[in-house]
Amino acid sequence: MSAPFDRVILGDVVTTDTILRRGYVAVRGETIAAIGQGEPPPAAETVDHSGRLILPGLVDGHMHTSSALGWPGIEGATRSAAAGGVTTCCDMPYDVPLPVTDAGKLADKIGWVTRTAHVDMALYGTITKQGGVGAIPELAAAGISAFKLSTYEYDAVRFPRIDHQTMRDAFAAIAKTGLPVAIHNEDQELVEQLTAEARAAGRTDPIMHARTRPPLAESMADLEIFELGLATGAHVHIAHSSIARGFDIAAAFRAMGGQATGEACIHYLCMTEDDLVRLAGKGKCNPPFRAAAEIPRMWEALLADRVAYVSTDHAPWPLARKTDPDIFACGAGLTGMQSFAPLMYTLLDERGLSPTLMATYCAERTAKLHGLWPRKGALRVGSDCDLTVLERGDFVFDEAAIVDREELRWSPYHGRRMRARVVSTVLRGREIWDGTRVLATPGSGRFVARSSG
Ligand SMILES: [Zn+2]
């Protein structure tokens, strides 16, 4: 008689509400066939991670694989995702040379995912600066997980600011699809004027990045997008709030009947303006790191259940784009996928918080907002067998260990002590990272379409 399960994986199983000590996950094919505690069921193979934590594979709801290198960036970014315990990437649409603004471009990007990704990927879509609202239904029908628009212009083609009237029309069309729309939330006028003043005063040192993008630039944009959401019925989501006030504003709009949410990137839970000064270009991201006093407020918002989920906003610029002494000349964005699981575990453990919060905020919540749950982000019978296995201990994060292209091997967390490391990542039942080597190959990953409204 053949064994009922292909494989049984032993360890402490971390779900969103409990830790099953001496538990197991049993796999059949690509899916989870049983979860339990105690004596494991018979299986063709046993993988022993006793004493280690088995979490759902992380779902990273926000990254940019292709904003520097174009779609060839997918291959390396998803390799570092595998090493960081991320099994599903929700990739932003602001790609080089052209963003994902219609079903044809989406199909082309899905082709790159199918051929080159190491982990599974959901994809965002966006609209052109003018005249793009008409493509919203076809993008939704083609399976994007969310839309992304911006109140701030980095590039008139790749990453445009959408004017108020167009944004209102877009939100009304998006509301009909039932998909969320994530917004890059910074006030263009305020940032541009403060930046011009800083330059005129000869101040281009690192701290000026934070000074020219104050919290007010964010909260003003938050109010604007949530007002448009309330007026149109769209689910409007702050793509990154660096301030607890963003989550308070979202909660206030929910209380008024709006569908208003916001996400925290992991760096806003630990990095401060002092880190921006210390790291210079390598600490530049938008919105910027905030004053140290903001960190406890961010954690308070998370523990009060006001944060939708925690993401990386992984945006890997080549190191050469991060070293200019003029902070305004450096690219905005950090690497973060390979450090995601170790850092999140560490930040929780340093505060005496349970890793169940990681299953909640870095997997289940993200998968739910992107319409991927319970196939993704869940340790449940019938879900894809995507797992992240953590070994606890005293480790130091070394940027040289990043498995992306050589020019992308830098990290704002280089040298940081970590209380865990990823010893195994499993994608649909197959190990894709063994703690040392990426076992996945380009094309191991698949496109995951949104499946629920
Ligand atoms: Zn981003």
CA 408 / ligand 1 centre spacing (Å):
17
Q: Is the pLDDT of residue 207 over 50?
A: yes
CA 313 / ligand 1 centre spacing (Å):
5
CA 302 / ligand 1 centre spacing (Å):
20
CB 107 within 8 A of CB 66: no
Q: Is 428 left (phi over 0), alpha (psi -120 to 50) or beta?
A: left
Please report whether residue 46 resides in a domain. no
- Residue 151 DSSP SS3: coil
CA 245 / ligand 1 centre spacing (Å):
19
Please report whether residue 49 resides in a domain. no
Taking the C-alpha atoms of residue 424 and residue 428, their distance in angstroms, rounded to an integer, is 13
User: What's the mean pLDDT in 411-428?
Assistant: 98
Q: What does each C-alpha distance from 413 to 32, 216, 228, 236, 339 come to in angstroms?
A: 33, 27, 37, 31, 8
For residue 167, give the H/E element and its range.
Answer: helix 164-177
Please report whether residue 44 resides in a domain. no
CA 366 / ligand 1 centre spacing (Å):
15
CA 239 / ligand 1 centre spacing (Å):
7
CB 429 within 8 A of CB 385: yes
Phi, psi (deg, nearest 5) at residue 75 = -60, -55
Taking the C-alpha atoms of residue 191 and residue 289, their distance in angstroms, rounded to an integer, is 15
Q: What was the pLDDT predicted at 365?
A: 98
User: What's the mean pLDDT in 347-366?
Assistant: 98
Q: CATH code at 325?
A: 3.20.20.140
CA 428 / ligand 1 centre spacing (Å):
27
For residue 254, give the H/E element and its range.
Answer: helix 244-255
Please report whether residue 13 resides in a domain. no
CA 49 / ligand 1 centre spacing (Å):
34
Please report whether residue 314 resides in a domain. yes
CA 63 / ligand 1 centre spacing (Å):
6
Instruction: Locate 214 and state its tokens.
Output: 């104050």
CA 212 / ligand 1 centre spacing (Å):
19
- Residue 108 DSSP SS3: helix
CA 315 / ligand 1 centre spacing (Å):
7
Q: Is the pLDDT of residue 53 over 90?
A: yes
The domain of 81 spans 60-369
Structural domain tally of the chain? 1
CB-count burial class (<10 Å; 0-12, 13-18, 19+) for 347: buried
Please report whether residue 33 resides in a domain. no
CA 48 / ligand 1 centre spacing (Å):
37
Q: What was the pLDDT predicted at 4?
A: 86
Phi, psi (deg, nearest 5) at residue 53 = -95, 130
Q: Which of 171, 181, 146, 178 is nearest to 228 (CA)?
A: 171
Enter the pTM of the model: 0.97
Q: What was the pLDDT predicted at 453?
A: 47
Q: Is the pLDDT of residue 2 over 60?
A: no
CA 332 / ligand 1 centre spacing (Å):
9
CA 383 / ligand 1 centre spacing (Å):
28
CB-count burial class (<10 Å; 0-12, 13-18, 19+) for 352: exposed
CA 297 / ligand 1 centre spacing (Å):
22
Please report whether residue 270 resides in a domain. yes
Which residues are bridge partners to 150 per DSSP? 184
Q: What was the pLDDT predicted at 238?
A: 98
CA 123 / ligand 1 centre spacing (Å):
13
CB 267 within 8 A of CB 289: yes
For residue 50, give the H/E element and its range.
Answer: strand 43-56
Distance of CA 70 to the CA centre of its chain: 18
CA 189 / ligand 1 centre spacing (Å):
20
- DSSP symbol at 161: P
Half-sphere exposure of 168 (CA within 13 A, CB side): 7
CA 314 / ligand 1 centre spacing (Å):
7
Q: What was the pLDDT predicted at 56?
A: 98
Taking the C-alpha atoms of residue 272 and residue 278, their distance in angstroms, rounded to an integer, is 10
Q: Which of 238, 405, 433, 442 is nearest to 341 (CA)?
A: 433
CA 142 / ligand 1 centre spacing (Å):
22
pLDDT tens profile 173-197: 999 999 999 999 999 999 999 999 9
Average pLDDT, the chain: 97
CA 44 / ligand 1 centre spacing (Å):
43
Rg of the chain (C-alpha set): 21
Instruction: Locate 175 and state its tokens.
Output: 């509301």
Residues 6+ apart with CB under 8 A from 203: none
CA 41 / ligand 1 centre spacing (Å):
43
Q: What does each C-alpha distance from 446 to 272, 281, 428, 443 come to in angstroms?
A: 36, 34, 10, 7
CA 283 / ligand 1 centre spacing (Å):
14
Phi, psi (deg, nearest 5) at residue 97 = -90, -15
Q: What does each C-alpha distance from 195 to 28, 192, 213, 226, 327 come to in angstroms?
A: 56, 5, 8, 26, 11
CA 154 / ligand 1 centre spacing (Å):
12
Taking the C-alpha atoms of residue 254 and residue 93, their distance in angstroms, rounded to an integer, is 27
CA 31 / ligand 1 centre spacing (Å):
31
Phi, psi (deg, nearest 5) at residue 71 = -60, -25
Q: What was the pLDDT predicted at 1?
A: 46
CA 33 / ligand 1 centre spacing (Å):
35
CA 285 / ligand 1 centre spacing (Å):
9
pLDDT tens profile 81-129: 999 999 999 999 999 999 999 999 999 999 999 999 999 999 999 999 9
CB 217 within 8 A of CB 190: yes
CA 153 / ligand 1 centre spacing (Å):
13
